[in-house]
Amino acid sequence: MLNGAKFFEQLVINVVKLPGVKVDRTEFLAKSFSKHVTARQLADILEKGPVQSNVSKKLIRRVAKKTILNRTMKSSSASFAAGLPGGVVMAATVPADTAQFFGVALRVAQEIGYIYGYEDFWSENGLDVNRVSGELILFLGVMFGVGGATATIKVLSSQLSKQALKKIPNRAMMQTIYYPILKKMGSYIGLKMTRKSFAQGISKVIPIAGGVISGWITYSSMHQMGNRLLTALEESMDLSDEELVASIKEMKQEIPNMTEKDFGILQASV
């Protein structure tokens, strides 16, 4: 049996491939910003993202809020799990309502990520699995309120620390930064993804009447999750030296595997 972290990683990788979960970055950004900017600025947004194209924070926030509202309004009738693709190793243990829940959450995560300047999770060759195992699962960690996830995303998204992060090898990033968040997510959801265990696990972080999800996602739950991610990414845009130091220290407390060398590299960026 897969351990909790590996099981959850495989769950996310497979659910994001379900029909209707993938977000086309170019199409989404064009639709979201075309009515608010000039054609020239829109071209910059599609190439570099809204943040790097100097779109105002006010407009970015307005578009993000509208996106969350639209997505959560549709979530109760969403049906992303209408047929699992072949080769899904946990098809027998993941019920449709579980896949649907994560389908909605992953779509919201992609959309908010793109609004705040993250690169495409997809390429001509398909899904970028490494980035899903890292950034996208970190987004979910923030949405679920997992300890250390918000501080981590602030550090990783901060302009102040981007150069320093390039000095940390990708393998070390996965082992010392992303994996602990993944492990916590796995422990939240549990090893056996039955309807009962899922309802019990999810109720620990999202209060739902009766603690049961029956094929639909409540508006309040997904709205709250989307706004957690929005807030974390928004705050990372203008992180002060003091705030960055505080976030790095919180990361070190929540992520015990983080080496002193990597911690020093991040500290030196301030």
The DSSP code sequence of 143-209 is HHT-TTHHHHHHHHH-TTTHHHHTTS-HHHHIIIIIHHHHHHHHHHH-SS--HHHHHHHHTTTS--G
User: From the DSSP assignment, how many helices (H) and strands (E) are in the chain?
Assistant: 15, 2
pLDDT at 261: 62
pLDDT confidence of residue 124: 79
Mean pLDDT, the chain, rounded, equals: 74
CA angle 254, 223, 106 (to 5 degrees): 65
Which range is least confidently modeled, 2-16, 62-76, 90-104, 123-137? 90-104
- Which residues in the chain belong to E strands, given as ranges? 122-123, 126-127
Can you give the pLDDT at residue 96? Answer: 61
Query: Would you state the pLDDT for residue 123?
Result: 81
Separation of alpha carbons 20 and 6, rounded Å: 24
Q: 169: which 2 tokens?
A: 């090898």
Residue 201 has pLDDT above 60, yes or no: no
| Nearest in space to 21 (alpha carbons), one of 104, 141, 99, 82 | 104
What mean pLDDT is predicted for residues 66-80? 70
Span 246-270, average pLDDT:
67
Whether the predicted pLDDT of 215 surpasses 50: no
CA proximity to 27, closest of 110, 100, 106? 110
When mean pLDDT is compared over 6-15, 69-78, 253-262, the highest value belongs to 6-15
Q: pLDDT value at position 29?
A: 97
| Maximum mean pLDDT: which of 17-26, 179-188, 214-223 | 17-26
More confident residue, 112 or 4: 112
Q: Note the pLDDT of residue 112.
A: 96
Q: Which residue type, as a one-letter code, is found at position 222?
A: M
Q: What is the dihedral of CA 45, 228, 68, 195, to 10 degrees?
A: 130
Count Cα atoms within 13 angstroms, Cβ side, for 201: 21
Residue 112, token pair as written in the block: 């908010």
Does 188 score more than 90 pLDDT? no
The per-residue pLDDT for 156 is: 78
- Number of other residues whose CB lies within 10 A of the CB of residue 186: 20
Instruction: Work out the number of other CB atoms within 10 angstroms of the CB of residue 99.
Output: 24
Cα 198 to the chain's mean position, in Å? 19
pLDDT the model gives residue 183: 76
Question: Worst-scoring range by mean pLDDT, 58-67, 114-123, 258-267?
Answer: 258-267
Q: Strands 122-123 and 126-127, how do they pair? A: antiparallel
Confidence check: pLDDT of 44 > 60: yes
The residue among 233 and 133 whose pLDDT is bigger is: 233
With 60 as the cut, is the pLDDT of residue 239 above it?
yes
Tokens at residue 108, please? 């919201």
